[in-house]
Amino acid sequence: MAKDIDPSKTPEHVAIIMDGNGRWAQMRGKPRLYGHHKGARRVRAVLEACPDLGVKYLTIFAFSTENWKRTQTEVSGLMKLFRRYIIRESQSLLSAGVRVRFIGDRVRLDDTLVALMDELELLTAGNDRVHLTIALNYGGRDEVARATRRLAHDVAAGRLDPKAVNEETLPKYLDTCVLPDPDLVIRTSGEARISNFLLWQSAYAEYEFIDTLWPDFTPEIFATVVGRFGARERRFGAVEV
């Protein structure tokens, strides 16, 4: 960690809604997929900046449950991009000490992609320098619904007393059960909405909505946004005394 970073004022877990790839490409007269390819390259730069900024966990929103509504060309291109990203980046992620996890419903994803996801998770399972979580076919409401079904199965099977269910129970069934909640959520491209991302986990997260399109989101901008986090007063519903 850089010497001038105060751990008490640094977000341990940053989540990013990587928005604006398509618009970035269209502004340059390129197809939307061109922007997605540029955006994928930006992930590495931001990830590499995390250790010096004191960010231990980085979660990125790669493809939502609603993104299936896009054109078949774009969806197909994105799936190919995900496969290529995993193949291309696996060894560098391993060497950099990055542990990779995927969250989201894998049922709708093709078998080849799922196998690559499983392999990358297994390959990097021993790493602990930075934890990269990729939300793929992910939606916050869908995640809560799936978690609730699992919880209900445990209640029906007698493994869980319904009277013991409280707000600490459901997180154990979420995709993110082994991760701390995000401290800071960043959305690029100027849109000011959370788009069904980490709904339960972000209950007390700080939010930053910035105008920069994701392909233009540099490590320097990332550092500036992370730095602003330290100036925020987080009371979690209490009052300062």
Predicted pLDDT at 233: 64
Q: Compute the average pLDDT of residues 44-54.
A: 97
Token pair of 28, please?
């340059």
Q: Is 187 marked as a binding-site residue?
A: yes
Provide CB contacts within 8 A for 208, sequence distance 6+.
184, 185, 186, 187, 225, 228, 229
**Candidates 4, 6, 67, 111; catalytic one:** 67
Q: Is 153 marked as a binding-site residue?
A: no
pLDDT bucket at 84, cuts 50 / 70 / 90: very high
Contact call for residues 97 and 128 (beta carbons, < 8 A): yes
Nearest alpha-carbon partner for 61 in 128, 98, 14:
14
- Count how many Cα atoms sit within 13 Å of the Cα of residue 238 in the half-sphere of its side chain: 6
pLDDT digits (tens, 9 = 90+) for 156-205: 999 999 999 999 999 999 999 999 999 999 999 999 999 999 999 999 99
**Candidates 4, 6, 19, 166; catalytic one:** 19
Nearest alpha-carbon partner for 187 in 10, 38, 35, 20:
20
The more confidently predicted of residues 7 and 96 is 96
Residue 170 burial by Cβ neighbours in a 10 Å radius (0-12, 13-18, 19+): middle
Predicted pLDDT at 231: 78
pLDDT bucket at 230, cuts 50 / 70 / 90: confident
| Annotation marks residue 127 as catalytic | no
Q: Across the chain, what does the average pLDDT equal?
A: 94
Backbone Cα Rg of the chain: 18
Nearest alpha-carbon partner for 198 in 13, 10, 74, 20:
13
Q: Is 65 marked as a binding-site residue?
A: yes
Q: Compute the average pLDDT of residues 124-136.
A: 98
- What's the topology of domain 7-139+180-229? Undecaprenyl pyrophosphate synthetase (3.40.1180)
Name the pTM for this structure.
0.93
- Percent of the chain past pLDDT 90, that is, above it, reads 91
Token pair of 184, please?
């800071």
Residue 187 burial by Cβ neighbours in a 10 Å radius (0-12, 13-18, 19+): buried
| Annotation marks residue 166 as catalytic | no
Q: Is 89 marked as a binding-site residue?
A: no
Pairwise CA distance, residues 126 & 147, whole Å: 26
Predicted pLDDT at 41: 95
pLDDT at 32 over 90: yes
Phi and psi at residue 3, to the nearest 5°: -65, -30
Pairwise CA distance, residues 137 & 103, whole Å: 8
Pairwise CA distance, residues 198 & 70, whole Å: 21
Taking the mean position of all CA atoms in its chain, how far away is CA 17?
Answer: 7
Provide CB contacts within 8 A for 61, sequence distance 6+.
15, 16, 17, 18, 135, 138, 195, 197
Contact call for residues 207 and 41 (beta carbons, < 8 A): no
Q: Compute the average pLDDT of residues 32-43.
A: 97
